[in-house]
Structure 1
Amino acid sequence: MTILNSLKLVITTMLLLICSTIAFGQKLAPKERILAPDQTITSTITGKDYQLYLSFPKNYSTKDSITYPVLYVLDGMNASRIISGIRPLMHLGNQLEDVIIVGIGSGLDPLSWYNNRYNDYTTSVSIPRDETTRDKANGLWGKKFDVPKGNFKSGGAAKFLKIIKTEIAPYLDKNYKTNADRGITGHSLGGLFTAYCLVNSDGYFTRFGINSPAIWWDNEKLLNQAVAQFTENKIWDLPQTKVFISVGDQEDSFMVPTMMKFSKYLEDSNYENIDLKWKIFDGENHISVIPASLSKTINILYRKK
């Protein structure tokens, strides 16, 4: 081998080593994954947009006449992806009924999401307290988003329920293969709203997942209504209804007692048409309990017989 060829070989080898070092040294940027709503509905009642995140049973097809129950999941942008991810695993064991899951979103950014849910999910108008008390909306959240005092509005639950019944559900019924078997689940203020739907139930929903419910709201106004109703009414004229109620044992000190009071009075009423189950999750706080409660919710409400 000539000196020139040897020099070429050395140079080539060095270049290959340099290129390989550069290639292996480069780090890949994470891909941005944006969860986009499948549909958006503008309410004629409030003028607000509601995003719908849809998840369908594995064998859903437009070519047959099969219809499916619907589970409405509040705080849909976040909660629906958790519960939609849980379902395929449970289907591996053939444990669940087929159900269409509809996450209802109330905003595409943190401020609009919290602002809208604070109004839509609360059952009465209540003056916000400061951040040292139970209601932190105009304290912790106000500071987080730099929201002017008094910006958060409350007491819109009746309107939001009307939106579901007269705008969202009819849209879904028109465009997808739904039936009249409807469930609803929510967490925190969403749990408050779900409890409100149960206490005022007319049979429109027959499956309820009430998780970490904020039934301390407005000096326990809804809780007191529920206790009076469960105590005084020995018969509740409803179709067969499933109810699951949960809370984490590490949540704020007032969460477990109010949840237990609601659950025990409903349990003691012994309504023949109410199938009630409740659970306190060990070692879970108000946030960490969300995946556990959603998993248990779909398992309790839609587990095959």
Structure 2
Amino acid sequence: MNSLKPLHFKFTAILLLICCSSLFGQKLAPKERILAPDHTITSTITGKDYQLYLSFPKDYSTKDSISYPILYVMDGQINFSTIRGMRTLFDLGPLIEDVIIVGIGTSNWIVNRYQDFTPSVNTSEDEKRKGMFKSGGAAKFLESIKTEITPFLDKNYKTNADRGITGHSLGGLFTTYCLVNSDGYFTRFGINSPSLWWDNEKVLNQAVTQFTENKIWDLPQTKVFISVGDQESSSMVPTMMKFSKYLEDSNYENIDLKWKIFDEENHISVFPASLNKTIYTLYGKK
């Protein structure tokens, strides 16, 4: 009998190895996580559907009369997961003011942002895209925000007239356009990696003219944060610096300006850092 024990142990060990190998070989498939918009607004101005992704202060309640500032974030469907994570961390402090954050997105993201975020028609850029993209729709998109999206949110949620806007890349160009042509509708601006090279720097040149020729800018108290990554393309850093410098030198009493160049960040990698800094700069508690 003793001579059979080694064989018994060997058989048991082999069986265990086979079972373990089978278990470890069965990999789990990742769960599908769907980020769904809270609302979809059909614009009669632009002819597009806009998806709204909403993030609320943790104490938001329909049972009180408190109203909240609102921050619009461009490219909402891409950015909202980052926003949601940041909100959770900021609420641990709490580090920021109570603010409703609204990501604005579209289903045909690449095509629609190219049109909605560009303030002028750039024929040479349109031709590069072989007619699939049409630029120059910023004025209509801004009108849609003012006359369609904001009234919808004001009707259904506890918003107030303290409005901010932020965007990255072409979204940063659009936010710059909103600032340069500001009528006080927005009072907080996050301009990140702005594509100020657009259309031979048309918006940048308009800004420089305005900042140098107008010693007074009749706006309500306004906060502006501008950023770029130091490893972005050669067209990005100098234009951002030029815009920031001229705005800074204008020394407008009603403009609270802060700007930052992020070290070792490129056009894509800089995004989470710039959005985080935008929210904290524009809404951070003293």
TM bucket by the smaller chain?
A: over 0.9
CA RMSD, Structure 1 to Structure 2 (Å)? 1.9
CA contact (8 A) 2:229 2:264 kept: yes
Amino acid at match of 1:124: S
Matches within 5 A, 1:95-106: 95-106=95-106
Aligned equivalent of 2:117: 121
Alpha-carbon distance in structure 2 between the residues aligned to 1:162 and 1:156? 10
Aligned equivalent of 1:132: none
| CA displacement, residues 57-78 of structure 1 (integer Å, 9 cap, x when unaligned) | 1111111111111000000011
Q: Cα distance, 1:125 vs. partner?
A: 0.6
CA contact (8 A) 1:57 1:98 kept: yes
Alpha-carbon distance in structure 1 between the residues aligned to 2:102 and 2:19? 50
1:53 aligns with 2:53: yes
Amino acid at match of 1:261: K
Counterpart secondary structure, 2:87? helix
Q: Cα distance, 1:81 vs. partner?
A: 2.0
Aligned equivalent of 1:35: 35
Q: Cα distance, 1:19 vs. partner?
A: 5.0
Alpha-carbon distance in structure 2 between the residues aligned to 1:284 and 1:16? 50
Amino acid at match of 1:234: K
Aligned equivalent of 1:239: 220
Counterpart secondary structure, 2:123? coil
Q: 2:146 aligns with which of 165, 182, 186?
A: 165
Q: Cα distance, 1:287 vs. partner?
A: 0.3
Counterpart secondary structure, 2:184? coil
Alignment CA distance shift 1:14-1:207 (3 Å): same
Matches within 5 A, 1:1-305: 21-107=21-107, 112-129=108-125, 139=128, 142=129, 149-305=130-286
| CA displacement, residues 69-117 of structure 1 (integer Å, 9 cap, x when unaligned) | 100000001112212211221222221101111000022xxxx211100
CA contact (8 A) 1:53 1:103 kept: yes
Counting aligned pairs with the same residue, the percent is 78
Amino acid at match of 1:296: K
Amino acid at match of 2:183: D
Alpha-carbon distance in structure 2 between the residues aligned to 1:278 and 1:13? 65
| CA displacement, residues 233-252 of structure 1 (integer Å, 9 cap, x when unaligned) | 11111111000000011000
CA contact (8 A) 1:119 1:155 kept: yes
TM-score when scaled to structure 1?
Answer: 0.87
Counterpart secondary structure, 1:128? helix
Counterpart secondary structure, 1:237? coil
Query: Number of residues paired by the alignment?
Result: 278
Amino acid at match of 1:213: P
Amino acid at match of 2:63: K
Counterpart secondary structure, 2:149? helix
Alpha-carbon distance in structure 2 between the residues aligned to 1:14 and 1:257? 67
CA contact (8 A) 1:80 1:101 kept: no
Counterpart secondary structure, 2:240? helix
Amino acid at match of 1:114: I
Alpha-carbon distance in structure 2 between the residues aligned to 1:254 and 1:79? 24
Counterpart secondary structure, 2:29? coil
TM-score when scaled to structure 2?
Answer: 0.92
Moved over 4 A (4+): 10-21
| CA displacement, residues 257-292 of structure 1 (integer Å, 9 cap, x when unaligned) | 100111111111101000000001111110000001
Alpha-carbon distance in structure 2 between the residues aligned to 1:268 and 1:251? 24
Amino acid at match of 1:277: K
Runs of 5+ consecutive residues of structure 2 not aligned to the other structure: 1-9
Q: Cα distance, 1:23 vs. partner?
A: 2.9
